[in-house]
Amino acid sequence: MTDFTAEVRGVTKRYGETEAVRGVDLTLAPGECVAMVGHNGAGKSSLIKLMLGLTTPTAGSIRVLGGDPASAACSPIRRRIGFLPENVAFHPNMTGRETLDFYARLKGASRRGNDALFEKVGLEPAAIKRRVSTYSKGMRQRLALAQALLGGPKLLFLDEPTTGLDPALRQSFYAIVAELRDQGTTVLLCSHALTELEGQADRVVVMSRGRKVADGSLATLRSLAQLPVRIRLTLPTDDVDALASRVGQGAALTRLAGGVVELACANDDKIDLVRRIACDSPAVDDIEIVQPSLDEMYAHFLCREAAE
Ligand SMILES: Nc1ncnc2c1ncn2[C@@H]1O[C@H](COP(=O)(O)OP(=O)(O)OP(=O)(O)O)[C@@H](O)[C@H]1O
């Protein structure tokens, strides 16, 4: 008996000569929001298709919601999975309502909840009467999310859900994802927009060339990557060199524009350094601690994998 919503064990997927997924282990716990990142062709979509039961592994095993998602007996399981594919193509001549009704029939879900779904994703009553061909990219993506939410999925796969959306729409998209997660839905989210994933995902999985090269919370990945933390000081005095060298003892120092000095140090040395700055340099105007970004950690794990 497993507690995981999805469990991928030693999975390899080969397409002819191409090994799209290589020996991947991955678990998704109930109510977890996991971000999967990786370069083009890293194997993210292949892994999602395997968990959806659209393809079968060449080696290894997959269990989703307690069953094998590819087996014919598991269609009740597949009804509890939602999927927003990377490139959604709806029929242009159907209205929003007709489209959602159509997908509800396909999924065997009741259409009674469709109005609530339109409201959840922010599609106005006037908009759902219009043909999809008149929709903006943002409206199509909202409709795509409503489609993925049909039947109240326990597990939701979102493949590049925010590509092409403006910042406000991206925020509202993530607000819906957070609400779903709070209600216990497990979410796996693929994206190339690493910066916007910070703060959204409980865990980040980094894929490269079919392999999983890192898996953990941002804090775990930070401690694994051991990238330097940067401490930015805004110094009021002209004597930047003296002050900077005094506070910067033992830390790599860079002068930035506008009297700002950046000190790079190991994460474990950060508190000591901040103490020293506070004691020795009362004239510091401002202090900012910049943790390694997900972009930087991602680049680090890819370089490490390439070197291995
Ligand atoms: N049906 C298929 N037939 C043959 N090769 C495939 C098939 N699907 C995927 N591949 C190959 O498997 C590898 C992984 O592709 P996949 O689409 O899983 O990557 P991805 O990480 O989702 O990339 P992207 O970010 O560009 O969507 C690629 O080399 C791709 O060409």
Could you read off the pLDDT of 229-240 as tens digits, one per residue? 998 888 776 666
* Contact yes or no for 115/150 (Cβ under 8 A): no
Residue 65 and residue 10 share a domain: yes
Residue whose pair of structure tokens reads 């008149």 in the numeric block: 134
Q: How far is the CA of 46 from the centre of ligand 1 (A)?
A: 6
Q: How far is the CA of 86 from the centre of ligand 1 (A)?
A: 12
**Per-residue pLDDT at 134 exceeds 90:** yes
31 closest CA partner among 176, 188, 173: 188
State the Cα–Cα distance between residues 203 and 32, nearest whole angstrom: 8
Domain boundary among 151, 181, 196: 151
Q: Using CA positions, which residue lies closest to atom 1 of ligand 1?
A: 15
CATH number at residue 206: 3.40.50.300
Confidence band for 242, pLDDT divided at 50, 70 and 90:
low
**Strand 211-216 to strand 203-208: parallel, antiparallel, or no bridges (unpaired)?**
antiparallel
Q: Tell me the per-residue pLDDT of 148-192, one tens digit each, with 9 for 90 and over.
A: 999 999 999 999 888 878 888 888 889 999 999 999 999 999 988
Query: Residue range 113-131: average pLDDT?
Result: 93
Reported pTM? 0.86
* Contact yes or no for 302/206 (Cβ under 8 A): yes
Residue 281 and residue 160 share a domain: no
The radius of gyration computed from the CA coordinates of the chain, to the nearest angstrom, equals: 24
Q: Is the dihedral of CA 14, 90, 65, 214 positive or negative?
A: positive
Q: State the total domains in the chain.
A: 3
Q: Tell me the per-residue pLDDT of 48-107, one tens digit each, with 9 for 90 and over.
A: 999 999 999 999 999 999 899 888 777 788 889 999 998 888 999 999 999 999 999 998
pLDDT of residue 111: 87
Q: Where are the beta strands (DSSP E) in the chain?
A: 6-15, 18-28, 33-38, 59-64, 81-84, 155-159, 186-190, 203-208, 211-216, 229-234, 252-255, 260-265, 286-290
Which helix H or strand E contains 49, and what residues bound it? Answer: helix 44-52
Q: How far is the CA of 78 from the centre of ligand 1 (A)?
A: 22
Q: Using CA positions, which residue lies closest to atom 10 of ligand 1?
A: 20
Residue 299 and residue 223 share a domain: yes
Query: The domain containing residue 213 runs over which residues?
Result: 1-80+153-227+293-308
Considering the domain boundaries, does residue 85 fall inside one?
A: no
Q: Is the ipTM of this complex over 0.95?
A: yes
